[in-house]
Structure 1
């Protein structure tokens, strides 16, 4: 039996293992969605109840149409447990991303290069944290990478690119690059063009229907970046690019990637590398465009090029295995890879603290969630909600509370203080810094208003009430 006939069952087993690990991590870590994702769950439930989603709420994140729809489906099926179901979807998406990276790397550079690239992605603490916190990036990356797999194996990637484009705008750039490649001499150029513009049009229509502004997502994102004092501007793009990529895939991987690119270019040429290059180019174009438009410059915006760097780094490390045994480069390349592996082993010592940081972050999120639910379910707090709204120092725990108490009026004291109701405060330095302060917010929001008295304390949170 040939190696290729053995490979397929091994791939199936690897895919099953990745899914099993994702489910196991979901079961034993008990994490919860981040701020943006809880809002998408709230918006999805509002759609189910025939209400317009509150895209214009104070400090609301950018809406992502397909994620709102996913929130609605999960809410319909799982009820309030949809938050945990969303985390499971994202962890399964992370597993699909890792396996898809292998398949893409194998299709372009060879199986061993694909395997190493997948290990680089799996070892990224940032990718894992995005999945464990239910970020939209996890399913988006899985769709993008599998679209790349289809394109690299001469199959149509359009359905996956359209879905990805309903999650993040980076896919619009990827679709545009794919259009340049596929439209040449194609008899389906009209349908290809429709696929390219479909996601932006749906995004603009959903903004227009709900807010009256087809560019609400762009305007709101820019305004929010200004309100929160985030890093913005084209001048910050070069430095942020280097630091963000190094933080996402670790410096040893980022250092290997240019070497892999040069080697692949010399051996394969541009056309063979078109998919990894498109991933990298789309991410860079979007990142630069983000700076030019004055939007927030965030590490999450470089996840797509980071995956491409993992692919090139994998080729740099073990690409010699795809060369003929008598190839003049094979021996020195193998020796260089052995030396790089030793250096990479040292890099694992650098990686270990970041994984510890992920564990600590997930423990903190779990403790915060448990504290919040216990506080919201406290009889004294429930009684106080009959007197007025529930407020927090800043906006950061508002969607979590709206998800648990859909009928309550929930707000942030940084936007408006109330004379009655329930005020919740963060306890402990980390909780206070995370949930008590925000750019442009007065520290006084962390002090009870006149007439409010303590009624409950659970873990990291304390509640005061006035009726």
Structure 2
């Protein structure tokens, strides 16, 4: 997709006297910024999903909503659970101005931002497949696979419908990758900085990107300095004023009942692998193999990023933090994209014999993914009934 358009002016005769000049309509704006239409559609669809689901936020999100009300009354207290994180706070404070509508605004925001991750995953897979015009179908198939498989991550729908921030962070990470691949490093850094307000695992990646941007694009230096200052102020400044310690978030995360008490390395890896079915993981390995042969640095880089994320989570688990599966949704989302690129490559690779074999392999992998996908759908349906019953009690 081109980042800029060239416009040619044509010399037209002057309008006849008395003819009113027409104001430009919304068409050119929409054609230049199709993301506006996508955003509007996501908001409408998200509102319909929230109304249909009839669920309410989980424990942590209700705590974030309370933070918003406490801030307006000057009584913010971040000492106890939920553990402090600035990302939801950016939304729950202004939403608190709308009273009891705050909860609806937050739920719609979570669903809309989470669904945007489907768009970013599809865009990345489409771009990295790098199929020629005659094999565009392969890139389209890769994009469709990425979008659907992202929603198939274990318990992903549960966390979306219970208004958790983890799927939002996935979207921000995928958006940062997409912006970088699209030649928009400033937007990539901003989205990465926003993601770092939700999970500390993002910090090393944003730091590395900041160093790259500082050295490569001097015009980004002001943005980098300002972003780092804001991130530090939100993560540590607010708790310093509203709790017993600037590091209360890390302290509260220790001693979780869901932490691994033995076998933390293999246990964390197992939790990560459990987010996907084996056929998808095999497709990701095939994709990495293609990337090595083709020297596709972009695919190899994001695959390495997923591995690095899991290694970070292992280090956190060894430190005593819980290392929950949802903390690795971001790495799981990247694995989905890598697997989708593999699907596209298998469909696009010449010659014809290889193409037929690739189509057969993709068909088998997809067929193997259907039964577990249906099983997870049934599990999510049961969970939705439980959540609706809980909402009735509330």
Q: Distance in 1 between matches of 2:258 and 2:196?
A: 27
Larger % of strand: which?
1
Q: How many angstroms does 1:47 deviate by?
A: 0.4
Question: Secondary structure in 2 aligned to 1:249?
Answer: coil
Higher-RCO chain (CA-CA 8 Å, sequence separation at least 6): 2
1:250 aligns with 2:271: no
Conserved in 1, the CA contact under 8 Å of 2:118 and 2:147?
yes
Unaligned residue ranges in structure 2 (runs of 5+)? 6-30, 131-138
1:192 to 1:301, Cα distance in 2 relative to 1, 3 A: same
Match of 1:161 among 186, 192, 200: 192
TM-score normalised per structure 1: 0.69
What is the 5 A alignment of 1:98-109?
98-109=118-129
Specify the alignment match of 1:273 in structure 2: 299
1:302 aligns with 2:328: yes
Specify the alignment match of 1:72 in structure 2: 93
Specify the alignment match of 1:220 in structure 2: 252
Q: How many angstroms does 1:138 deviate by?
A: 2.1
Specify the alignment match of 2:59 in structure 1: 35
1:88 aligns with 2:85: no
1:322 to 1:12, Cα distance in 2 relative to 1, 3 A: farther
Q: Distance in 1 between matches of 2:38 and 2:152?
A: 16
Q: Distance in 2 between matches of 1:191 and 1:34?
A: 38
Conserved in 2, the CA contact under 8 Å of 1:94 and 1:127?
no
Conserved in 2, the CA contact under 8 Å of 1:44 and 1:75?
yes
Q: How many angstroms does 1:217 deviate by?
A: 0.7
Larger % of helix: which?
2
TM-score normalised per structure 2: 0.80
1:132 aligns with 2:161: yes
Q: Distance in 2 between matches of 1:31 and 1:275?
A: 38
Specify the alignment match of 2:381 in structure 1: 359
Q: Distance in 2 between matches of 1:273 and 1:229?
A: 33
Specify the alignment match of 1:311 in structure 2: 337
Q: How many angstroms does 1:350 deviate by?
A: 1.7
Specify the alignment match of 2:212 in structure 1: 181
Conserved in 2, the CA contact under 8 Å of 1:245 and 1:302?
no
What is the 5 A alignment of 1:413-452?
none
1:305 to 1:229, Cα distance in 2 relative to 1, 3 A: closer
Question: Secondary structure in 2 aligned to 1:61?
Answer: coil
Q: How many angstroms does 1:155 deviate by?
A: 0.9
What is the 5 A alignment of 1:367-386?
367-372=389-394
Unaligned residue ranges in structure 1 (runs of 5+)? 373-467
What is the 5 A alignment of 1:107-122?
107-110=127-130, 111-112=139-140, 113-122=142-151
Conserved in 1, the CA contact under 8 Å of 2:169 and 2:330?
no
Conserved in 2, the CA contact under 8 Å of 1:87 and 1:134?
yes
1:259 to 1:93, Cα distance in 2 relative to 1, 3 A: same
1:343 to 1:116, Cα distance in 2 relative to 1, 3 A: closer
